[in-house]
Structure 1
Amino acid sequence: MGIKSFQGKRSTEKKEFVAPILVSDYMSTKLVSFRPEQSILEVMEAFAKHRISGGPVLDSNGFLVGMVSEADCMKQISESRYFNLPILDKRVERFMSREIDSIPHDMTIFDAARIFDTHHRRRLPVMKNDILVGQISRKDIVIAALKLSGHNWK
C-alpha cells in the first residue's frame, strides 16, 4: 500500500491576497468513510443514500488505507454477473484502491487543480501530519475558483 503525498507551495509566506486559497478552506470535512471489512453492497447503498461517488477507507485505528469509488463497484458488478455470483459476499478491501494520491491541507487550490489535471483523479484525500482531515474534489476546486474570480490570483 502506498500513500503518495503531493507537495505544493506552503502557506508560510505573507500574501497580499485576502481571500482564502488553501485546500483546507474548501475541502469537505464531514466524510462518509468505509471499513475494509464492509461489503461492497453496503458501499453501494451508502453511495446512493449520500449521493456520493467515492470515499476513504479507514482501518480500525482511523488511518487511511484505501479509497473506494463507483468504478470499484463497477468491477464487482461486472465480476458478479460474469461468474454468476452474489454481490453480498465481497469485501471493500478486495476492490478498493490501495495506491492513494493525497495532498496536504495547506496546499493552494491552484496546485491542487494542477494535480487534478495531471493525475485524472475525481477526489483527493487531504492530510495533515499523516492524518486524514478531509477530502477535496474537482467540484470543490471549481467552486473555489468561482469565489475567487473577482480577485487577482497570485
Structure 2
Amino acid sequence: MTKKVRSVRPDTSFKETALALIQNRLSGVPVVDRQGRLVGIVSESDLLPREALDDDLLASAQAFFEGTFDWDSLFKNRKAVALTAGELMTTPVQTATPHTLLRQVAKRLSESGLRVLPVVDHGKVVGMVTRHDVLKVYCASDADTLCNVKDALEHRGYVPPRHCIDASVHEGIVTLGGTTIDPEGLRRALALVRAMDGVVAIRNLVRVDSSAG
C-alpha cells in the first residue's frame, strides 16, 4: 500500500487533477470533501477522453447535420468536456480497509476494472493499493511461504503431534501430505492454506485413515 497519497477536492481543476495523478505515480487519485471523506476517484481513463475531444466534436457535428446524432453517446462522453475533479470522478467508489484480505482486494480490482483502490479507515483515505501491490505476494520465497503455512497449521493443530500432516512448497505451490483421521479437519486445513497470501495452488496428498481412530 502507498501511504503518502495526494488527494484532490471536487472543485480541483482538470489540470491540477492530472498533476496530482502524475505526482502520486499511481493510476488514480482520490477525491475527498472538506472533511477529508472519500467521495470519488479519478483514474487515467477518466482524463483520456479530452485527448479525443476535437475528433469527437467533428464527428458529432457531422452526425448532427446528417440527422444521425447519438445523444446517448454525448452523455457517455461528457467527461471529455469536464473541467473539475467532481465532473471527472467515478462514484461510488470501490474501496478497501487496512484489514481487507489481499484476495478480496484482488477480486475488487478485477471486478471493477480499476488499477488502484483507495484504502479507507473511518471514512478517511489512508493510502492506495494497486494491482502491483497484490502481485508482490507471489514474489515471496518458497521458504517464507512454507514457514507461514507451517505456522498457520501448527496454530490450528493440523500438524504433528495432533495430526500427521506435513507441508512443502515449490514455486508457490503447496503440497500437503501425511495422514489424518479427521476429514472435516482436513477440509478446514485446505481452506486455511488456500486463503493464505502468496499461495499459488495446493496439491492435497493427505490420506484419510479412519481405521487409525
TM-score (norm 1): 0.68
Q: Distance in 1 between matches of 2:87 and 2:54?
A: 13
SS at match of 1:32: coil
Verify the 8 A CA contact 2:31 2:38 in the aligned structure 1.
yes
SS at match of 1:101: coil
Cα distance change of structure 1 residues 80 and 148 upon mapping to structure 2, 3 Å threshold: farther
Corresponding residue number in structure 1 for 2:13: 39
Q: Distance in 2 between matches of 1:53 and 1:119?
A: 14
Amino acid at match of 1:145: Y
SS at match of 1:124: strand
Corresponding residue number in structure 1 for 2:44: 70
Larger Rg: 2
Q: Which runs of 5+ in 1 are unaligned?
A: 1-26
Corresponding residue number in structure 1 for 2:173: none
Q: Which has the higher helix share?
A: 2
- Structure with more relative contact order (C-alpha pairs < 8 Å, separation 6 or more): 1
TM-score (norm 2): 0.51
Verify the 8 A CA contact 1:41 1:88 in the aligned structure 2.
no
Corresponding residue number in structure 2 for 1:92: 85
Instruction: Quote how far apart the aligned CAs of 1:49 are.
Output: 4.2
Cα distance change of structure 1 residues 148 and 106 upon mapping to structure 2, 3 Å threshold: farther
Amino acid at match of 2:135: V
Q: Which runs of 5+ in 2 are unaligned?
A: 59-79, 150-192, 197-213
Cα distance change of structure 1 residues 137 and 124 upon mapping to structure 2, 3 Å threshold: same
Corresponding residue number in structure 2 for 1:18: none
Cα distance change of structure 1 residues 101 and 88 upon mapping to structure 2, 3 Å threshold: closer
Cα distance change of structure 1 residues 81 and 64 upon mapping to structure 2, 3 Å threshold: farther
Instruction: Quote how far apart the aligned CAs of 1:104 are.
Output: 2.1
Please say if 1:110 is aligned against 2:103: yes
SS at match of 1:37: coil
Write the deviation string for residues 4-45 of structure 1: whole angstroms up to 9, x where unpaired.
xxxxxxxxxxxxxxxxxxxxxxx1110021111111112223
Instruction: Quote how far apart the aligned CAs of 1:60 are.
Output: 1.5
Q: CA RMSD in A?
A: 2.6
2:30 to 49, 53, 56: 56
